[in-house]
Structure 1
Amino acid sequence: MPLHVSTAPAPALRSVLAALGSATAVQAHTPALRALQGPLTPELPLPVHVLDRLGLSEPAAAGRPPRTRLTGWRFLIRSGERYVAAADTMLTPDGWAFSHFFEGPYVAATERALHQAESAGAHYQPRLLSVPELYMITLWLHRAAGADPASGLPAPADLLVPLAPAPPGIAAYRPHPVSELLPVLTHRLAPPVLATPA
């Protein structure tokens, strides 16, 4: 398999397993999980990085790699032969902890983008890159397949695959080199320039 899925921190996985065993955690916002019979398994852990808006919009940022920060790990939750939900974890002062379960389009979109990346034949480390201001999540295919999943910056040779729903004007599931998509995101995130009166 060309994708090198990282191993999540053990406390993050344990927190998700504990939440799956908790009726209270499963009840919140996940009717699909409540209705299922049989085992639920957390799989495909993906580190979730957030694009630093300030790092992109500062005038001094031109020509500098964007800044990202690890904010959590996301697990797809399998029931039988399909993924039915996802679980997010977050880093707290006490370590990794369960955050929440969710359903919706990003679960199926993540699965589809991962299958698409697997068939590409190149070796990548899959990550998620979130751009909250644009309500956008991309599958970040990091070329350094053996890198520490908690660190690193998007490199020009990396690929970003926007997940559906993608923002207007950005095609979902189309792999974009970082060097192609990042300037578009930078432009959209830059503060508007106010015209000065003559």
Structure 2
Amino acid sequence: MPLHVPPAPAPALRSVLTALSSPTAVRDARTPSLLRAQGPASAELPLPVHVLDRVTADGETSTTLAGWRFLIRTGDRAAAAADTVLTADGWVFSRFFEGPYIASTELALRQAEAMTQPYQPRLLSVPGLYMLALWLHGDTEADGAAGGPAPTDLLVPLAPAPPGIAAHRPHRVTELLPVLTHRVTPTRLLGSPA
């Protein structure tokens, strides 16, 4: 198995499992796929979610860990996802959600499994482009919550991808970052209004 999924912090997983076992949390999430789910739901494939804060002209990046995302599996598919965030009191459940990024993440992970080189999967959010990518980090022993994209890492934009960026096509970081640098101004990268 070429994917080495980093372990999520135990409190993050516990908070998601607690929310999954709470009928109130599931009902209040208004996530139709979870409400219709037949049988038990499980939290799988914890992925650290990093936000791209800065890309310099020479390709240097700065990222911040935003949380951990778990795919919520019911039966043979991921029906939703659960996010956790770090607070002053530790890791806590944030929200359940569904949408196109769930199926797109599953597809990108299956594609990555078929690769011959081992990778550590992460998610990279680019708020200025409303873009989410599966980040395949080449150092499988690295702390999933730390570091930035290495030049040899792969980024797989998830669907829906921004115009002009092909979804589900692996790009070397050195290939995709210049495109992002050109399309996003520093203020937009931080999520500030343009």
Tell me the TM-score normalised to structure 1 length: 0.91
> What are the ranges of 5 or more consecutive residues in structure 1 without an aligned counterpart?
193-198
Listed one character per residue, the Cα deviations across residues 166-188 of structure 1 (whole Å, up to 9, x for unaligned) are 00000000000000101111111
The answer to whether the 8 A contact 2:78-2:102 is kept is yes
**Secondary structure of 1:51's partner?**
strand
Provide, for residues 94-122 of structure 1, a one-character-per-residue CA deviation record: whole Å limited to 9, x for no partner.
11000000111100000000000010111
Q: Percent identity?
A: 69
Partner of 1:63: 58
Query: Could you give the per-residue CA deviations for residues 27-77 of structure 1, whole angstroms, max 9, x where no partner exists?
Result: 21301101112110000000000000xx32xxxx33252000101000001
CA contact (8 A) 2:59 2:174 kept: no
Matched, 1:107 2:76: no
Aligned partners of 1:29, 1:121: CA distance in 2, in Å?
39
Deviation of the 1:13 alpha carbon: 0.1
Aligned equivalents of 1:73 and 1:81: distance in 2?
22
Unaligned stretches of 5+ residues in structure 2: 188-194
Please tell me whether the aligned partners of residues 65 and 155 of structure 1 are also in contact (alpha carbons under 8 angstroms): no
Query: Is the radius of gyration larger for structure 1 or structure 2?
Result: 1
The answer to whether 1:35 aligns with 2:36 is yes
For residues 37 and 66 of structure 2, the distance between their equivalents in structure 1, rounded to whole angstroms, comes to: 29
Tell me the distance in 1 between the aligned counterparts of 2:79 and 2:48. Answer: 19
- Report the RMSD for the aligned CA atoms in angstroms: 1.2
The letter for the 2-side match of 1:130 is: S
Tell me which residue corresponds to 1:5. Answer: 5
Q: Tell me the residue number matched to 1:195.
A: none
> Is 1:95 the equivalent of 2:96?
no
Matched, 1:22 2:22: yes
Kept in 2: contact 1:85–1:102 (CA 8 A): yes
Instruction: Give the C-alpha shift of residue 191 in structure 1.
Output: 5.8
